[in-house]
Structure 1
Amino acid sequence: MGKPYSDDLRDRVVAAMAAGRSCRDVGAAFAIAPSTAGNWYRRYQRTTSHAARPMGGDRRSKLTEQAGWIADRLAQASELTLGEVRDDLARRGVAVSYASVWRMVRRLGLRHKKKDHLRD
């Protein structure tokens, strides 16, 4: 993933746009896409800030708090598929992907049934 543009460049682009220059003109002058210049300026008009937004996202799993429940559930019924565990979590109000459940089971060092007996 690339890095955000510097605040100095953003300052100069927004100042040029505020002075009445067009997106295309500013984009060419500062070697950025005209749409980028326009986006920064519109954001500045809305929020009075053109600073880069945080990159990435929240990488913590929703299932961290559910780890104990998942371990207990698989201990009670070892024949559960991950899809069934996911459905049980949904009934508990935790909406997650199949892959999230798989990663948590793996992180816990547990085993699960790999084949759904209804799809043989």
Structure 2
Amino acid sequence: MFLTITDAAQKRIEKAENKHPGKLSFYYESKIGCECGNTGIFTLRLLDHEDKDMDGSLDTTIGQLPIQEWSLSYLDEEMTLDYKPEKNTLVLKGQSGLINPNVIVTDEDGKLVL
């Protein structure tokens, strides 16, 4: 499994990291409604502390990112994270199509950073 993070997305992530330093992780937010099937969304989370739930890793163009191991089943083998300036969003796509049209960057409490 591999995530290509485009240069434009990397710049957007760096802007968030400048506002809120922390260890970048790929987080599956499943606390939004029922927890049956794939009802969550993937976000980027900047962690201030080690998170025991981040027990897996995802290979990317910027190195390995911590991820919840169980959430890997919701991802494709090959994916791309890109930044769309016209919508001011990070977009996650895979071989199966659009995974998340608006990947947000949060702090470890889930508060929006950027």
Q: Counting strand residues as a fraction of each chain, which structure ranks higher?
A: 2
Q: Counting helix residues as a fraction of each chain, which structure ranks higher?
A: 1
TM-score bin (small chain): under 0.3
Larger Rg: 1
Structure scoring higher RCO (CA < 8 A, sep ≥ 6) equals: 2
